[in-house]
């Protein structure tokens, strides 16, 4: 396949930034370039050097003065909730019962699922998101539609058929056995096909019987390399109801622990109201807490103490995510803007370097995929985003007053959205301009 050479200002993180002046945490090249072939990065560095390595027939695109960064990673969202976004409800359980569990029933229809899958991947491309961890609906057909579209477009995606066998409308329920069988069928059909990865996906303890939780634990033991995703400690009423349903457990986290669901491949959406004991259990098992700021604000779920979890003696691994459709934006820029404000309300700080680390290498680490995605390194997959900090008149005006890289990043986070995504490369191919 033809090589592609792109020129621009390269920015890619090497490690978590310790403060706003931590220039060693990233690689920055003012006149940089990336060479890509067969979906991989084959060279990166200053333009003159990379250009000298490029084959004579390489297709070249000049993105200067825009930034070239690794594609954004979203570690938690719901593909069947595109038409749930912005539904008016007081809090989580009302929102689920009134809108979400109604909408997700439509995904029994493979034609509807395929239509939404097309819209979903178009939207991710528009927003510069090149990897996401998605919940499908309970229906195997929804996972098939999701992966078919993802594979066709050669995305690196993680997704799972939701397992849920109680406390929802009958049309949305599987059984411990069919949940297990269908998950296995999705794994056998899709895991490792191109860049597709399947996650074992029990929705949350409220919608799974102990028998189904056992089955989810069995799947985790049978497929130890797969991710497991669920929801944890999002909302007070949810926590109280969970403890009614599972009265013999120490706390909410202990329910998942009991069924063998904690571990380094386990992603726990929200994890807002954790006790010290629960945070220790998360930390010791290497489990990941996923911060979903726009959703937590929209549903009034609570303020995620990112620094509290990150800076304790036994730190908890953290991912960041949109949680569409509880979340209100597909944009990881908007997500970090709201995340910043959630921290501000708690007297906690997040530097712009940390924000952009978290939506790239930080999330790749949360997924244990840092050798594959999340940074611009030779041999890594060529998923990239091109960022324009002058995308709107208001941004342009503010950019005239910007002198430092960190200020430009903070501007992108504060005023940016899909308009700031000048291009999205998926496996080395420009995808946004092709929409």
Give the footprint of ligand GUN on this chain (CB under 6 A). Answer: 78, 92, 96, 100, 203-204, 231, 234, 295, 323, 326
Report phi then psi at 80, rounded to 5.
Answer: -80, 10
> Shortest gap between Cβ of 164 and ligand GUN (angstroms)?
9
Minimum CB distance to ligand GUN, residue 234 (Å): 5
Choosing among Zn ion, ligand GUN, none, which partner's interface includes residue 182 (Cβ < 5 to 8 Å by kind)? none
Q: Which residue is nearest to Zn ion (CB)?
A: 269
Nearer to ligand GUN, 92 or 422 (CB): 92
Burial class (CB in 10 A: 0-12, 13-18, 19+), 368: middle
Applying CB under 5 A, which residues contact Zn ion? 269, 323
Cα–Cα distance, 331 to 246 (Å, whole number): 36
Measured CA angle at 76 (ends 326, 127), to 5 deg: 85
Q: Which two tokens stand for residue 184?
A: 């296995």
Name which of 203 and 365 has its Cβ closer to ligand GUN: 203
Helix intervals (H) in 304-399: 306-310, 332-344, 352-357, 363-366, 393-399
The site partner of 100 among Zn ion, ligand GUN, none (C-beta below 5 to 8 Å per kind) is ligand GUN
The one of ligand GUN, Zn ion, none whose footprint includes residue 204, by CB under 5 to 8 A per kind, is ligand GUN
Q: In the complex, what is the shortest distance from the CB of residue 247 to ligand GUN, in angstroms, rounded to a whole number?
A: 20
Distances (CA, A) of 99 to 165, 204, 326: 18, 17, 11
7 binds, among Zn ion, ligand GUN, none (CB under 5 to 8 A by kind): none
Closest approach of ligand GUN to the CB of residue 231, in Å: 4
Report what 203 binds from Zn ion, ligand GUN, none; CB cut-off 5-8 Å by kind: ligand GUN
Nearest approach in angstroms of CB 207 to ligand GUN is 7
Smaller CB separation from ligand GUN, 22 or 94? 94
In this structure, are residues 163 and 230 in contact, taking their beta carbons and an 8 Å threshold?
no
Of the candidates 293, 303, 367, the one whose C-alpha atom is nearest the C-alpha of residue 324 is 293
Nearer to ligand GUN, 96 or 309 (CB): 96
CB closer to ligand GUN, 78 vs 153: 78
Burial pattern 165-189, b for ≥16 Cβ within 10 A else e, equals bebbeeebbbbbebbbebbbebbee
Distance in Å, CB of 291 to Zn ion, minimum = 12
Q: Specify the residue, 44 or 231, whose C-beta has the smaller distance to ligand GUN.
A: 231
Q: If contact means CB under 5 to 8 A according to the sort of partner, which of ligand GUN, Zn ion, none does residue 352 touch?
A: none
Q: C-beta of 356: minimal distance to ligand GUN in Å?
A: 25
Binder of residue 295, out of ligand GUN, Zn ion, none (CB less than 5 to 8 A by kind)? ligand GUN
The 10 Å Cβ neighbour count of residue 300 is: 12
User: Least distance (Å) from ligand GUN to the CB of residue 222?
Assistant: 24
The DSSP string of 277-296 is HHHHHHHHHT-EEEE-HHHH
Nearer to ligand GUN, 234 or 377 (CB): 234
Task: At 95, give phi and psi (nearest 5°).
Answer: -60, -45
CB 88 to ligand GUN: min, Å: 15
Separation of alpha carbons 125 and 76, rounded Å: 16
In the bound state with Zn ion, the residue whose beta carbon lies nearer, of 73 and 353, is: 73
CB of 292 closer than 8 Å to CB of 263: no
Residues 6+ apart with CB under 8 A from 21: none
Nearer to ligand GUN, 226 or 292 (CB): 292
Output the smallest distance, CB 425 to ligand GUN, in A.
30
CA dist., res. 161 & res. 245, Å (int): 23
Laid out side by side, the sheet with 26-37 consists of 40-46, 26-37, 4-13, 59-70, 384-387, 421-426, 429-430
CB-based contact 260:236 (threshold 8 Å):
no
Cβ-based nearer residue to ligand GUN, 144 or 234: 234
Q: Which single residue brings its beta carbon nearest to ligand GUN?
A: 326
């Amino acid at each position: 396949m033809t090589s592609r050479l792109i020129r621009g200002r390269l920015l890619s993180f090497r490690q978590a930034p310790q403060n706003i002046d931590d220039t060693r945490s990233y690689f920055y090249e003012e006149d940089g370039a990336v060479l890509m072939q067969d979906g991989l990065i084959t060279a990166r560095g200053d333009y003159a050097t990379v250009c000298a390595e490029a084959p004579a027939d390489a297709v070249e695109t000049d993105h200067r003065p825009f930034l070239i960064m690794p594609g954004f990673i979203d570690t938690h969202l719901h593909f069947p909730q595109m038409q749930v976004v912005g539904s008016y409800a007081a809090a989580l359980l009302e929102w689920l019962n009134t809108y979400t569990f109604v909408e997700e029933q439509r995904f029994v229809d493979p034609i509807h699922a395929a239509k939404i899958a097309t819209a979903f991947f178009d939207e991710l491309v528009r927003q510069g998101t090149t990897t996401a961890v998605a919940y499908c609906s309970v229906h195997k057909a929804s996972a098939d539609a999701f992966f078919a579209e993802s594979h066709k477009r050669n995305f690196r995606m993680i997704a799972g058929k939701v397992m849920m066998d109680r406390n929802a409308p009958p049309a949305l329920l599987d059984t411990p056995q069919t949940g297990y069988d269908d998950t296995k069928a999705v794994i056998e059909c899709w895991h490792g096909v191109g860049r597709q990865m399947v996650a074992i996906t029990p929705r949350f303890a409220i919608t799974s019987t102990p028998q189904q939780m056992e089955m989810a634990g069995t799947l985790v033991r049978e497929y130890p390399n797969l991710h497991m995703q669920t929801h944890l400690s999002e909302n007070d009423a949810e926590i109280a109801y969970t403890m009614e349903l599972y009265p013999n457990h120490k706390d909410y986290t202990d329910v998942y622990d009991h069924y063998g669901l904690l571990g380094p491949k386990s992603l726990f959406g929200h994890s807002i109201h954790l006790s010290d004991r629960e945070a220790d259990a998360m930390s010791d098992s290497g489990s990941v807490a996923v911060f979903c700021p726009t959703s937590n604000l929209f549903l009034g779920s609570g303020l995620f103490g990112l620094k509290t979890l990150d800076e304790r003696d036994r730190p908890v691994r953290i991912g960041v995510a949109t949680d569409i459709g509880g979340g209100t934006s597909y944009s990881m820029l908007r997500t970090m803007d709201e995340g910043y404000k959630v921290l501000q309300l708690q007297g906690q700080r997040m530097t712009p370097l940390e924000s952009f680390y978290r939506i790239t290498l930080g999330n790749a680490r949360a997924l244990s995929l840092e050798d594959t995605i999340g940074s611009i390194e030779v041999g890594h997959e060529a998923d990239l985003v091109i960022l324009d900090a002058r995308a709107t008149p208001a941004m342009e005006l503010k950019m005239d007053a910007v002198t430092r890289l960190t200020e430009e990043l903070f501007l992108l986070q504060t005023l940016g959205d899909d308009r700031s995504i000048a291009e999205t490369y998926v496996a080395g191919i420009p995808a946004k301009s092709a929409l």
